[in-house]
Amino acid sequence: MVPVHYYFILSALLFFIGVYGFISRRNLIAMLISVELILNAVEINFAAFNRLLFPGQLEGFFMSLFGIGVAAAETAVAIAIIINVYRNFNSDNVDSIQNMKR
Amino acid sequence: MANLVMFIILAVVILGSAVLCVTTKRIMRAATFLLFVLFGVAGLYFLLDYTYLGAAQIAVYAGGVTMLYVFAIQMVGKRSLQGLVERVKLSRVAFGAILSLVGFLTVVLVLLKNQFMYAACQVADVEVPMKEIGMALVGGDKYQYVLPFEFISVFLLACIIGGLAIARKEEK
């Protein structure tokens, strides 16, 4: 059986790789991909807490499940916004968007 | 023991793909590495005996969200998607690296100082039964989740409408 803190260290590493990507990239889609990494790290944490510390219950399981659904919805709306931004500013770089109204 | 070997393989795949995902200049490659990360996370759920969660992860994330990214990258124009233009400022990279390193050290310190994880139970390697999950998902009692289940369906509908409304071309 895998010791429980291995999962936590893995998810902490994944979380901060995502944070690094979010800070260092300036492309909107790349930043969104980094946010996906962060969300996945959090969901690993929920599932591992649930399974290894409280195996009789299912709260973390459902938190992960609903997290997956919310993340999918968030991605769809964010990509719609990015496509709209690209259409208006001809760039998907955050620095090119100085004000939301053109 | 076999579990530990599987965990190490999955961890190497996840972390390696995640690092490549945030460091590669080309957006399409970043999306591909994101796909590998998502498969690795699904493998972790299988390892934790949450088969349903792993299947949902593959179906929703690897099947749906990654496709969405690929289409978005293809739509968002030629220049930036071919990865030619993204300039990465060194100061920003250094700031991000320092911030994430400090954050990671803080989190690991707090985690390892804490004692709660030594209460970890030995769980047998049996799959969580699907009947139990289904009863909890659509049951209305305490610790049952029919309200969030219905709420998320309405939420997804709202997101579909919102996405359409935002991405629609405005008529002149």
Distance, in Å, from the CA atom of B117 to the CA atom of B110, rounded to the nearest integer, reads 12
Q: What per-residue confidence (pLDDT) applies to A2?
A: 78
Domain identity same for B83 and B156 = no
Q: What per-residue confidence (pLDDT) applies to B171?
A: 64
Domain identity same for B151 and B117 = no
pLDDT 10s digits, A58-80: 888 999 999 999 999 999 889 88
Q: B36 in contact with A at a CB cutoff of 8 Å?
A: no
Domain A26-93 grouped into CATH 3.65.10.10: no
Q: What per-residue confidence (pLDDT) applies to B15?
A: 94
Model confidence at A85: pLDDT above 90: no
Model confidence at A95: pLDDT above 80: no
Q: What's the complex ipTM?
A: 0.89
Q: Do B22 and A20 touch (CB under 8 A)?
A: yes
Distance, in Å, from the CA atom of B123 to the CA atom of B128, rounded to the nearest integer, reads 11
Q: Are A23 and B96 in contact (CB under 8 A)?
A: yes
pLDDT 10s digits, B52-72: 999 999 999 888 899 988 888
Q: A94 in contact with B at a CB cutoff of 8 Å?
A: no
Q: B116 in contact with A at a CB cutoff of 8 Å?
A: yes
pTM score of the predicted model: 0.88
DSSP letters spanning chain B: -HHHHHHHHHHHHHHHHHHHHHH-S-HHHHHHHHHHHHHHHHHHHHHTT-HHHHHHIIIIIIIIIHHHHHHHHHHS-HHHHTTSS----HHHHHHHHHHHHHHHHHHHHHHHH-SGGGG-----S-PPPHHHHHHHHS--STT--HHHHHHHHHHHHHHHHHHHHHHSPPP-
Phi and psi (nearest 5°) for B86? Answer: -65, 110
Query: What's the structural domain count of chain B?
Result: 2
Which regions in chain B score pLDDT beneath 70?
A: 77-88, 120-121, 170-172
Domain identity same for B24 and B77 = yes
Domain identity same for B121 and B155 = no
Domain identity same for B76 and B117 = yes
Partner A, chain B 2-31, Cβ-Cβ below 8 Å: 3-4, 7, 11, 14-15, 18-19, 21-22, 27, 30-31
Nearest to B68 by CA among B130, B168, B160, B161: B160
Domain identity same for B10 and B77 = yes
Residue A93, helix vs strand vs coil: strand
Domain identity same for B151 and B115 = no
Q: Point out the residue among B72, B103, B156 whose CB comes nearest to the CB of A79.
A: B72
Q: What per-residue confidence (pLDDT) applies to B83?
A: 52
Domain that holds residue B114: 2-126
Domain containing residue B27: CATH number? 1.20.120.1200
Domain identity same for B80 and B148 = no
Domain identity same for B54 and B133 = no
Mean pLDDT estimate for chain A: 86
Model confidence at A82: pLDDT above 80: yes
